[in-house]
Amino acid sequence: MTLERPAAETRFPFGDNWRRFLAVLDDHRIAESEKALAAILGTGDLHGRSFLDIGSGSGLSSLAARRLGARVTSFDYDPQSVACTTELRRRYFPEDDDASWRILQGSVLDAPFLDSLGTFDVVYSWGVLHHTGDMAAALANAAKLVAPDGLLMVAIYNDQGWRSRAWTVIKRWYNELPPPLRFLILGPALVRLWGPALAFDLVRGHGFRRWREYGGKRGMSAWHDVVDWVGGYPFEVAKPEVVFDFYKKRGFRLERMTTCGGKLGCNEFVFARAHPSDE
């Protein structure tokens, strides 16, 4: 299911990257994030539902859920990410108390912390559980937080075999370099990830259209996603069928799935938890 488990002491500072992302966050990106969340959950109305954002990062998905009407609980392992989420609550929902939007620092691998949270109608974790250093435990722990008849949404890096193993080495090297030298890896990776698409757009006279329009993808930023991808470590991967089987054995039914077509990226899953009376 996973690659060799990463060394715990090597960890990318995700919160630093998200702090810089907040400087470019605007109403358009927020609207796109809201639209993407509604599409993947199959509803644009979360009023009366509780929503847990595991690994809230920038806080954008939590903000989108709150704008859709959910009662939100956000937590992240990284203190800077907690600060980013808190900043978005301050900007857009300054009147909220913890009953409407609660923000905590914690780990999805910390069982006592998770026990204190209770269960939720929607548990959401986009691109997070594969960065914990123990993805299998993180996937299992996320499942325990879903209420009966609730939804679980996860996005997990696709297993590309030797390519994934190569990226694991690159990511570890990136994080072991002093920050002033990380461009030595980030630059070539940027060319590898974006070079063909940008060259194609230029040849067709479109300039850097795909780069400029990337904000339409969940409201994210192309540059900050490149940094997140190259630096994102610990790093584990799984094939779609492995994630499907993992949750099927735990009483979940697959509602929808969007794969990255066997390429680099995340496969997205929405599972429904069966009610005990239906099991």
Structural domain for 176, as ranges: 162-231
Which tokens belong to 38? 């509604």
178 & 65 share domain: no
State the sign of the Cα–Cα–Cα–Cα dihedral 36, 41, 42, 46: negative
User: What per-residue confidence (pLDDT) applies to 60?
Assistant: 97
Choose between 259 and 192: higher pLDDT.
Answer: 259
Residue 1 has pLDDT above 60, yes or no: no
Q: Per-residue pLDDT tens for 62-109?
A: 999 999 999 999 999 999 999 999 999 999 999 999 999 999 999 999
Domain co-membership, 54 together with 185: no
9 in any annotated domain: no
DSSP 223-243: HHHHHHHHH--S---B-HHHH
Q: Which of 22-31, 132-141, 164-173, 181-190 has the lowest mean pLDDT?
A: 181-190
Greater confidence (256 vs 211) lies with 256
Distances (CA, A) of 199 to 187, 191, 204, 216: 16, 10, 9, 20
Average pLDDT, integer, range 39-60: 97
User: What SS3 state is found at 123?
Assistant: strand
| Separation CA 158–CA 169 (nearest Å) | 16
Provide the pLDDT confidence category of residue 182 given band limits of 50, 70 and 90.
confident
Residues 175 and 93 in one domain: no
Looking at the fold, whether 132 and 251 belong to one and the same domain comes out as: yes
Q: Considering the chain, what percentage of its residues have pLDDT values greater than 70?
A: 86
Q: Which residues contact 133 (CB under 8 A, 6 or more apart)?
A: 5, 6, 8, 11, 109, 234
pLDDT the model gives residue 232: 84
* Same domain, yes or no: 28 and 125: yes
% of the chain at pLDDT higher than 90:
69
Kindly state whether residue 3 falls inside one of the protein's structural domains.
no
Query: What's the pLDDT score for residue 221?
Result: 74
Distance CA 192, CA 176 (A): 21
pLDDT tens for residues 224-279?
Answer: 778 878 888 999 999 999 999 999 999 999 999 999 988 888 999 999 998 665 55
**Does residue 91 share a domain with residue 215?**
no
Domain count, the chain: 2
Q: Is the pLDDT of residue 2 over 50?
A: no
Name the token pair of 228.
């997140």
Same domain, 139 and 65: yes
* Any domain includes 57: yes
Give residue 207's pLDDT. 63
Q: Band of the pLDDT at 7, cuts 50, 70, 90?
A: very low
Residue 47: the pLDDT is 98
146-163: average pLDDT: 97
- Of the candidates 160, 155, 105, the one whose C-alpha atom is nearest the C-alpha of residue 131 is 155
Helix (H, G, I), strand (E, B) or coil at 113: helix
Residues 112 and 77 in one domain: yes
CB 226 within 8 A of CB 67: no
Q: Is the pLDDT of residue 209 over 80?
A: no
Residue 67 sits in the same domain as residue 148: yes
On whether both 210 and 195 belong to a single domain, the answer is yes
* Structure confidence at residue 183 (pLDDT): 86
Under 8 Å CB-to-CB from 208, ≥6 apart: which residues?
198, 201, 202
Any domain includes 194: yes
Which strand (E) or helix (H) includes residue 122?
Answer: strand 120-126
| 216 and 248 fall within a common domain | no
Cα separation, 141 vs 55, whole angstroms: 13
Same domain, 225 and 266: no
Q: With bands split at pLDDT 50, 70 and 90, how would you rate the model's confidence at 150?
A: very high
Q: What does the mean pLDDT of the chain come to?
A: 89
